[in-house]
Amino acid sequence: MNGWTWLIPTGLVIVILALLLKLYLMKKSAREIKTAFMEKTEQNTNTLIHISSHDTDMKALAAAINAQLQVFHQSRQKFEHGDLELKEAITNISHDLRTPLTAIYGYLKLLQKEDFSETGQNYLAAIEDRTRALKQLTEELFHYTIAASETEELPLEKLSLNGVLENSISSYYAVLKQRGITPQISLPEAKVERMLNENALSRIFGNIISNAVKYSDGDLTIALTEEGTISCSNHAAGLTEVQVGRLFDRFYTVTNARKSTGLGLSIAKLLTERMGGTITALYREDVLEICVSFPLPEADAN
């Protein structure tokens, strides 16, 4: 009997080794599935997941994931196709509306030179106001679809944030003066330079300043740091944190916004992120603050 006792530990060792080998192969298959799954979802490819293991359970798992990946890819293709068609339709419609709206606005200007009763003048003023709002919405729709399109790369060049910001503030001087707002401006003496698109950056700054004009209680503070962060803050007692949290949503307007299309900050967010920056909105003690940051790339920072 004692001669067979060595077989028991030997058998246990063989069983343990077999289990460890099976466990290793299952973990290897799980890693292969994980890596392949990430590649398939990120690269938007229709290829399937293949694993080296012949284990029936792991092969069944890979097959089930492949089936769901096919459904996912089909849904994503339908969404991207529909989204592209929608953007093209909005671009075409807004483009087609711009010419007749410009003509209508011109005729309204001519009509205002004619003699009308006070009631007629009021009617003309109301028509002009609505026409201007519609023209603004059409322009914003056009620019939004252009900004949302990722098919065109934004050409970048070395720009001074100081200079572009100063020009944007100057372009809104008349509007700020009309609202009785004297902005407090803080800019560093040294140039803060980044690789950005000038037209996109000007639109970002313009939309943020325009937003401040809509919500300001009469003040405006604009500051640029050497780290590339631009903050625009003003008192806006009529807002809430929930409203501020939705300021970047498409077509969202706060009820007390003056002639807002709800697209200005959405466009600013799209353009900022396309150039590698971030934009946020904070609301503390009745002060609304919009912050845009364009940090240096890690290679340049080091």
**Is pLDDT above 50 for 23?**
yes
User: CB count, 10 Å around CB of 224?
Assistant: 19
pLDDT in the model for residue 124: 82
Over its C-alpha atoms, the chain yields an Rg (Å, rounded) of 30
pLDDT in the model for residue 201: 93
Lowest mean pLDDT among 20-29, 56-65, 139-148, 150-159: 139-148
pLDDT in the model for residue 298: 63
Q: pTM of the full predicted structure?
A: 0.58
Looking at the DSSP assignment, which residues form a beta bridge with residue 118?
none
**Is pLDDT above 60 for 151?**
no
Q: Which is more confidently placed, 113 or 292?
A: 292
**Phi, psi angle pair for 301, to nearest 5°:** -65, -35
pLDDT per position as a tens digit, 52-62: 777 787 788 88
pLDDT in the model for residue 220: 92
Q: Which is more confidently placed, 287 or 71?
A: 287
- Mean predicted confidence (pLDDT) in 112-126: 81
DSSP string, 44-71: T--PPP--S---HHHHHHHHHHHHHHHH
- Mean predicted confidence (pLDDT) in 129-142: 75
pLDDT in the model for residue 187: 93
**Is pLDDT above 80 for 166?**
yes
pLDDT in the model for residue 299: 54
Going from N- to C-terminal start, the domains of the chain cover: 1-152, 157-301
Q: Is the dihedral of CA 253, 259, 265, 266 positive or negative?
A: positive
In CATH, the architecture of 157-301 is 2-Layer Sandwich (3.30)
Distances (CA, A) of 267 to 64, 141, 162, 216, 281: 40, 10, 21, 20, 14
DSSP string, 191-218: --EEEE-HHHHHHHHHHHHHHHHHH-SS
Tell me the H-state helices in the chain.
7-43, 56-111, 118-148, 161-171, 173-178, 198-215, 241-245, 264-274, 298-301
**Is pLDDT above 60 for 302?**
no
- Mean predicted confidence (pLDDT) in 11-34: 81
Lowest mean pLDDT among 74-83, 129-138, 271-280: 74-83
**Is pLDDT above 90 for 71?**
no
pLDDT per position as a tens digit, 214-261: 878 889 999 999 999 999 999 888 777 778 777 877 665 655 444 455
Q: Judge contact between 229 and 175, C-beta under 8 A.
A: no
